[in-house]
Chains A and B, each alone.
Chain A
Amino acid sequence: MMASSYNAKEEDGHHSGAVGPGGPGAIKSKKPDNTAFKQQRLPAWQPILTAGTVLPAFFVIGLIFIPIGIGLFVTSNNIKEFEIDYTGVEESSPCHICSQNYAWNNTNPCQCSIPFTLEQPFESNVFMYYGLSNFYQNHRRYVKSRDDSQLNGDKNSLTNPSKECEPYRTNGLPIAPCGAIANSLFNDTLELLYNFPNGTSISIPLSKTGIAWWTDKHVKFRNPGGNNNNLSAAFAGTTKPVNWRKPVYELDPSDPNNNGFINEDFIVWMRTAALPTFRKLYRIIHKNKDMPTLPPGNYTLNITYNYPVLSFDGRKRMILSTISWMGGKNPFLGIAYITVGSVCFFLGVVLLIIHHNYGSRSNNADIPN
């Protein structure tokens, strides 16, 4: 905008200059406008950074940050989290045998169960995660090995997936869902049993839905053919990913709203994790009305062990966590706030000393004149 006005001005000037000597036309003075903008005299606020002037800022930051930090820290500490590693690398682990079995499409699933004890009750909703370590879901070629328009229900892409999916694009027939991400879908099944002291145990109800973003489930991921209940027909002409045991339309046959591309486990997996150690939401345990969601006691985690991680030195974990407004348990931010607040406060004191000792010369800048 500056440039265009410049252009106009200059041309004005030159026109008058060109016409001036010869032509009889009205001659405009080339005198520049005496405006504050053009003469660079706009009223300005000139902050001068000296100890005296910025002291309050440091104290204010300190005073704000330390309470925030304490709040965050307390909140984080109130979050209950329980984590269990079921990779089975150790020989003592019940899953050791399963872990050695690293074929993807093993026909007879390996089962193992790990008992654990919760010391404290988990109130309110409990979120059940599976965690993977050393799994580089953020590898560049892995990340882009997907076809979003196929996942969005585009018929064309269904039968002709994007080149990005190579080499998981076709397997005779076009693969649906194509790509390396879908191909490596986490396929362990986790079940949670509560063992009553008397030896009986009940299975804890785990909710499969509500674990993906609402927008992902309702906008971004669509089954081909819309709300067609006959998914197998919709996916006709495609084949399952290489590593999968069953086609996509059989991911959750019990619930048509959680089947196919809009299966929430699938959607969660497709949202690739940012870091090589990550967790993904697996199930939600909704809270009971009268008792804690997970009362303290003995539990058993039943695992259908399908997912091989030994090839990349990976670990698999199951995480139970309550949640707060700030998400999962992470004391870092609270500590950071407290630290930064303290540092600012300390700097404020240092500056105060500096100001007191050396600030005399900048003092007279503060004298109102």
Chain B
Amino acid sequence: MIFKIEDVTVYFPYENIYPEQYEYMVELKRSLDAKGHCLLEMPTGTGKTIALLSLITSYRLSRPDSPIKLVYCTRTVHEMEKTLAELKLLHEYQVRHLGSQAKILAIGLSSRKNLCVNPKVLAAENRDSVDAACRKRTASWVRALSAENPNVELCDYFENYEKAAENALLPPGVYTLEDLRTFGKNRGWCPYFLARHMVQFANVIVYSYQYLLDPKVAGIISKELQKETVVVFDEAHNIDNVCIEALSVSVRRVTLEGANRNLNKIRQEIDRFKATDAGRLRAEYNRLVEGLALRGDLSGTDQWLANPALPHDILKEAVPGNIRRAEHFVHVLRRLLQYLGGRLDTDNVEKESPVSFVSSLNSQAGIEQKTLKFCYDRLQSLMLTLEITDTDDFLPIQTVCDFATLVGTYARGFSIIIEPYDERMPHIPDPILQLSCHDASLAIKPVFDRFQSVVITSGTLSPIDLYPRLLSFNPVVSRSFKMSMTRDCICPMVLTRGSDQLPVSTKFDMRSDPGVVRNYGKFLVEMVSIVPDGVVCFFVSYSYMDGIIATWNETGILKEIMQQKLVFIETQDVVETTLALDNYRRACDCGRGAVFFSVAR
């Protein structure tokens, strides 16, 4: 259907629209007009995605002289696929009604693992090894080397893409990850680099939160986005968690050992270079002396990860003298590793602020704060100079440098926590040092400042006025919508009392009460004897589920349940759970009936 909201003609690809979808679109349009941020809550299943997409694309169509870009952030790859599918439908509808002026370019962007079409690279097992295998074939020095040495293996798709240069363009349309792969395979171009290149030209980009919020990734992918962009965070109820995780680092013993190994390897490489091509190291030294920025003169494909600190917090100064030479830098890192190892050797839980940590680091290991701030950049430059391509092996040292940079840059909003034991296995010493960020607004502040409109939407944003305070921004619109109940939906019933009129709840303090456990058990037995086929029972946590099932077993309730139906329990092991789920389905289908105990996460 096509209708007007104030001055915007909205193209909605379905025949019917829910009243709450319409209101949602009106509020969204108003916040776009005001060029401000907004918080919108609408229950899941009411068609938020299509409402957002259709309004924003129609808004763009109605203002052709000031085109806006849409950046749609989702949590998982699956959600990305769903969004692109909806967008395809919408795009077809709009093109049908408006003709070719409605054509847009929409792409989904994900990691190399999801977009690579080179079978040899894809054979690597995890995301980091895929990245390393790709780098091995596409790094600029490798390509330079292959011109002389034909035995060096390159990636054909990347080579074709580079050859096509400016002609490497995607025709207008909506491209899911699958479509990108197909296109890349047909043309012989690398889909990943093509998609990254097309980010500047695309009208709609769909990717995951990390690409905007995590400074390490955002510095590479999203640095060229213009101001007139609408950023949508979908399913954003956990966005504060994502922001916090983006700026938190944890270091374990195993990390330190890996970092030591990495340093040894780097040392070997430095010695090798000193013997064969000392000029390269000297050139790097000169560059650092002149304070040339470590970003900017690198080709985009060589840059592997960006600085973990936020862009405006990165000091734009020359790298300090005590780490300009490669060997000195390695020494500094070794001292840092020793100090961290010493700190991990503790028996109590310790908590410290970054300032005191840095000062004790200074007094014990002689490393200044300014040195720490440049750790990351220096490591980056060193690895490029040494032409290291096995980036997946060097993750530990990179983690340590991340840690050092963050702890040197930020004084407020972080703390350092050292725990001697892992909480899951309290008897085995496995110390962990965590730099945790407390302030969710740190990571998202650049997004709010940089872009014209940020839309935070979810099905569950209550309490909604908490978010502006958490993320420290001022929304122009902050609204919650209700779902209209004229359609078939599942209506939940909340049980507050058991059959003997005792109040029941899964609150933490009431969990171990035998009356509550018995009431829940009796309730489940009654349900199981009346409901045919399958029953699914969700618990709050694994520990609660284990405890309550053990109690039910002792009191004989579990036996009564098993007389009526078979019992399947979810565990934390994926294979076991998949097997249990499969058998549960078979039991329901063949009439035996089953109960599935699982955890709602």
User: Are A and B subunits of one complex?
Assistant: no
- A-side residues, CB < 8 A to B, are none
Interface residues of B (CB under 8 A from A): none
